[in-house]
Structure 1
Amino acid sequence: MLISRATTADVAGLARLLCIDTAGEGVDDQAVDEFAIDLDRWWADRGDSHAAFVARSARGEVVGMAWVAFVPRVPRPGATRRMSADIQTVFIRSDHRGRGLGTALVEAASEHATRRGAAHATAHSSRRAVPVNGRLGFASSPQLLRTTAPGT
């Protein structure tokens, strides 16, 4: 398996994974194609703030992904370019799970966040991924709190 930073050439593969993650393994190709157009536009508008990493099969097919979003933070004296990162939407196709791809993708996204200067990164984890992310250095923090909008 190969882990690499995604490019616009990977939009169709990313769109397919996002559709599978949302609807299950049986996705409609036309719906994927339509969503790929929306995803391509969305990402074009956010290329500086969002990066994606992909896992490819031996045939080059996109079988896993991880996104990292960068958030500028309020400047402080002596630190005018503060940033944090949030790792989101880590997903591996079911027939490729259990091979360490999620770990490799989160590592790639975390390393990218560090290289871009993020002071810290958060990870949105499924229950199954909490131990994996813990092994990668993510830990619960009593200072990091969240709220959820009603109805979500």
Structure 2
Amino acid sequence: MARLLWLDTHGVEPAPAQVAVFAAGLAHWWGVHQDSHLAFVARLLGPEIVGMAWIALVPRVPRPGAASRMSADIQSVFVTVESRGQGIGSALVEAASEYAARRGSLRVTVSSGRKAVPVYERLGFESSRQLLQRLPR
């Protein structure tokens, strides 16, 4: 997964040493956040991971009649260039979304790059006027 996150960020194959250093940091981060973040991965015939999608689940403030509410956010969806166009990314997003629903999330959000918006729309995601963001000043 460290290699895929590197590829997604830099777009070039990293040196093994770079992956090793980043993987150690990722492992530490995931250890700290394992209660809120889960990774879904895809493999084809071999052991190499060709795609991933993360889901972040965060408890929401309880409401009367709804003591256990969750927010879910899909993050860091990436499929290697060679494996794109086979439905892998869509399958990962579907699996993460279904997991979030089973955990009690009433909705799943995603912050998408412009090119991926049609993919998410095909999967049932819609723009929402109620979901706003504020960037740091």
TM-score category, normalised to shorter length: over 0.9
> In the alignment, residue 118 of structure 1 is paired with which amino acid?
S
Query: Any stretches of 5+ residues in structure 1 without a counterpart?
Result: 1-13
Q: Could you give the per-residue CA deviations for residues 28-68 of structure 1, whole angstroms, max 9, x where no partner exists?
A: 11010011111111111111100110111211210110000
Q: Using the aligned pairs only, state the percent identity.
A: 57
Query: Residue 41 in 1 paired to residue 41 in 2?
Result: no
CA distance in 2: counterparts of 1:48 and 1:116, whole angstroms: 12
* Equivalenced residues, count: 137
Query: Residue 64 in 1 paired to residue 51 in 2?
Result: yes
Structure 1 position 126, deviation (Å): 1.6
Of the candidates 65, 86, 91, which is equivalent to residue 99 of structure 1?
A: 86
> In the alignment, residue 55 of structure 1 is paired with which amino acid?
A
Structure 1 position 125, deviation (Å): 1.4
Match of 2:104 in 1: 117
Match of 1:76 in 2: 63
> In the alignment, residue 112 of structure 2 is paired with which amino acid?
S
Match of 1:133 in 2: 120
Query: What TM-score do the two structures reach when normalised by structure 1?
Result: 0.86
Of the candidates 16, 27, 50, which is equivalent to residue 3 of structure 2?
A: 16
After TM superposition, the structure 1 stretch with the greater mean CA deviation from structure 2, 22-31 or 112-121, is 22-31
CA distance in 2: counterparts of 1:18 and 1:108, whole angstroms: 19
CA distance in 1: counterparts of 2:94 and 2:40, whole angstroms: 10
Match of 1:31 in 2: 18
Structure 1 position 22, deviation (Å): 1.2
Query: Any stretches of 5+ residues in structure 2 without a counterpart?
Result: none
Q: CA RMSD in A?
A: 1.0
Structure 1 position 86, deviation (Å): 0.2
Q: Could you give the per-residue CA deviations for residues 55-93 of structure 1, whole angstroms, max 9, x where no partner exists?
A: 112112101100000111111112111111000110111
